[in-house]
Amino acid sequence: MEEALIARLRASTAIAEIAGTFKSRPAIDLHERKSNEKTAFPAVVVTINSPGKTYSQAGPDPVQQRLVRFESFGLSVGSAILLDRAVIAELEQAKLVQGVQFSRAQLRFQRDFDPEDLGNLRIFRRLSDLVIPTNR
C-alpha cells in the first residue's frame, strides 16, 4: 500500500505543480525528507502511524483503515499549506492505484509548527493525519 500511495501522490498533477523536486520527481517520500536543497521544497514526508488491520471471526478483514501522517514542508507557510491542501484533496477521492483500492480519506488531525532554521534555510511545516481506507 505504501508504494501505491507514494506513486499516487507523485502522479497527481495538482501536487506535482506545487511540490519541489528530488532526482527529477516530486519530493514526496516515506519516512524522511531526502534533501535540504531549495529545489526540493515544498516536500511531503509520509509515515504510516497505524496499520489499520481489523479482524473478524473469519480472520483478517480485507478492508484496512490506516492512520497516515503527512508532513508538508515549505520555504514559506503558504507553500507548506498549499501542498498539504493538495495532498488532502487528492486523497479525499476514491481511486484504484497499482491494485490498491483507496476509499475516501478523512482528515483527523492537523497542526502547524514553528519554523525550523537549517542555517541557510528557514523551513515551515504542517502536519496532517488522515485515515485512509484501502482494500488490499
pLDDT tens digits along 20-42:
999 999 999 999 999 999 999 99
Band (pLDDT 50/70/90 cuts) for residue 131 is very high
The pLDDT tens digits for 46-58 are 999 998 888 889 8
- Give me the residue spans of the domains in the chain: 2-135
- Please provide the average confidence, as pLDDT, over all residues in the chain: 95
**Multiple choice CATH, 2-135, 1.20.144.10, 3.40.50.2300, 3.30.2000.30, 3.30.750.24:** 3.30.2000.30
d(Cα 77, Cα 123) in Å, to the nearest integer? 8
Whole-angstrom CA distances from 135 to 31, 48, 88, 91, 102 are 23, 16, 19, 15, 7
- Please state, in angstroms and rounded to a whole number, the distance separating the CA atoms of residues 83 and 44: 8
Query: What backbone torsions phi and psi does residue 20 show, to the nearest 5 degrees?
Result: -75, -175
C-alpha distances in Å from residue 90, one per residue of 10, 54, 59, 131: 11, 25, 31, 13
